[in-house]
Amino acid sequence: MLAAVMDYFSSCWGPRSRAGHRGKGSDAAGRQDGLLWYKDAGQLVTGEFSMAVVQANQLLEDQSQVESGPLSLADPGPQGTFVGVHDGHGGPETARFINDHLFNHLRKFATEHKCVSADVIRKAFQATEEGWLSLVSKEWSMKPQIASVGSCCLVGVICAGTLYVANLGDSRAVLGRLVKATGEAVAMQLSSEHNACHEEVRQELQSSHPDDPHIVVLKHNVWRVKGLIQISRSIGDVYLKKPEYNREPLHSKFRLRETFQRPILSADPQITEHRIQPNDQFVIFASDGLWEHLSTQEAVDLVHSSPRNGIARRLVKAAMQEAAKKREMRYSDLKKIDRGVRRHFHDDTTVVVLFLDSNAMSKASWSKSPSVSIRGGGVTLPAKSLAPFSALAQLNSTY
């Protein structure tokens, strides 16, 4: 029954670009091939890009976007490129909300500050988090499960020759830098993962909550914050940030035995600034679905040795081939498994590859350029609907 409902919604609300083109069969907005959505190639003000999304969950929880052109509301104003990879958990609602609001907040603050900066990006994250909290407060009485929905958030912004990377959660941005002496490309990770599997993250949590001996718990061989969730930073997950939402009627599996005085999870992004060098060739932005199966260097090697056209799709395929190999099955058989059941084999996976063109970036800093706005696709529900509780309550790997 649920699958039939999803298929109906898919036909009505297929992935669209800002211009409103349906994704399937449209080069402008990408193409759909079963559970794979892809945009093999496109041109941005800062260079070319390739983008792909493969769905595993019953509802696609990964949301993603590429925006290129004006980065503020001023005219003239800074030009550049924005990439967002938002890996939701507990449902797609928070990730969709980020897709709809974070870039607009960034443009607003860039207008006020008359530039793009780490401070502007941080304020955009904060405004997005506050907007989600406001939505939860309105919906809580009728839909208490919304308090348990959250999302990782990886953002890249290229403006005036600088690449800003802001991250919450365990998605990853990786730079491919050419080594002229050998002709090879070396991987440089530009983001840190906020996942309790890392010792430094556990130490950070313990330092922030010295009075809580159970702030991180090893459960079924996996480190989890309060025994519930692997990530330590996110947008959403209000049930671990505001004690008033960690009570009935929220489902018991999300409720803590003891109340808390300060937020357990943080929405403060880790932001790095990287001045783009002539040898910097490309940047891979991807959700953890890719990095579960490919190392940073393996991904960089594949991009460096392959044609640009369709490279995001090739990265997704390489990860899926590894997932199939781990389960001792053929990739062709894995592709036949439908969404929902597919989640037992791999996660929703989003990949965006940006190729860095220094000439384009120098010209685009303040001059007007054609705007590009595209979002990754998949089977979705209407924007204002909440995921069914049965889907929401399933505890996937992020939990």
At 369, is the pLDDT very low, low, confident or very high (cuts 50, 70, 90)? Answer: low
Q: State mean pLDDT over 118-145.
A: 97
In one-letter notation, the amino acid at residue 358 is S
Q: What are the angstrom distances between the C-alpha of 73 and each of 77, 79, 102, 337?
A: 7, 11, 14, 45
Q: What is the pLDDT of residue 27?
A: 63
Averaged pLDDT score across all residues of the chain = 87
Q: What is the pLDDT of residue 13?
A: 35
Give the least confident one: 17-26, 151-160, 242-251: 17-26
306-345 per-position pLDDT tens digit:
999 999 999 999 999 999 999 999 989 998 899 989 998 9
Which is more confidently placed, 6 or 234? 234
Q: What is the pLDDT of residue 357?
A: 87
Any bridge partners for residue 159, and if so which?
A: 80, 162
Q: State mean pLDDT over 238-260.
A: 93
Q: With a cut of 50, say whether residue 61 has pLDDT above it.
A: yes
Q: With a cut of 90, say whether residue 350 has pLDDT above it.
A: yes
Question: Cβ contacts of residue 370 below 8 Å, gap of 6+?
Answer: 45, 69
At 363, is the pLDDT very low, low, confident or very high (cuts 50, 70, 90)? Answer: low
Domain 36-188+270-376 CATH superfamily: PPM-type phosphatase domain (3.60.40.10)
Q: What is the pLDDT of residue 14?
A: 36
Q: What is the pLDDT of residue 365?
A: 56
Q: With a cut of 60, say whether residue 398 has pLDDT above it.
A: no
Q: State mean pLDDT over 392-398.
A: 39
pLDDT over 90, % of the chain: 75
Q: State mean pLDDT over 179-183.
A: 94
9-40 per-position pLDDT tens digit:
333 333 333 333 333 444 678 899 889 999 99
What is the helix (H) or strand (E) element at residue 124, kind and residue range? helix 118-139
Q: With a cut of 80, say whether residue 3 has pLDDT above it.
A: no
Q: What is the pLDDT of residue 368?
A: 62
Q: What is the pLDDT of residue 204?
A: 95
Query: According to the per-residue pLDDT averaged within each range, which of 71-80, 110-119, 388-397 is highest?
Result: 110-119
Q: What are the angstrom distances between the C-alpha of 310 and each of 10, 41, 48, 259, 326?
A: 24, 6, 11, 49, 25
Q: What is the pLDDT of residue 358?
A: 75
Q: With a cut of 80, say whether residue 174 has pLDDT above it.
A: yes
82-119 per-position pLDDT tens digit:
999 999 999 999 999 999 999 999 999 999 999 999 99
Tabulate helix, strand, coil % of the chain (nearest 5).
30, 30, 40
Residues in the chain: 399
Question: Quick one: CA dihedral 221, 226, 229, 232, positive or negative?
Answer: negative
